Amino acid sequence: MRFTNENGEVMNLADGLTLHELLDMGVSISVCEETDPDQQIWLAEPEDNP
């Protein structure tokens, strides 16, 4: 699984991770069109656990 952040940096993660596991790790996930990155389709952010 490969992710690209807002700065264009690429992060490769194990293919077996689920989106829920990524959220548990503190990763914010935003799904958008590659041709129009400003058009956000879906956003998930980790919950703040005090």
37 pLDDT band (50/70/90 cuts)?
Answer: low
pLDDT at position 11 is 80
Tokens of 9: 């940096």
* 44 close to 23: Cβ distance less than 8 angstroms: yes
Spatial distance between the Cα atoms of 47 and 50, rounded to a whole number of angstroms: 10
* Residue 46 banded pLDDT, cuts 50, 70, 90: confident
pLDDT above 70: residue 33: yes
Tell me if 33 sits within 8 A of 41, measured CB to CB: yes
Residue 43 φ then ψ, to 5°: -135, 135
Give me the pLDDT at residue 30, please: 77
Statement: residue 24 has pLDDT above 70: yes
Structure tokens, 15: 């293919």
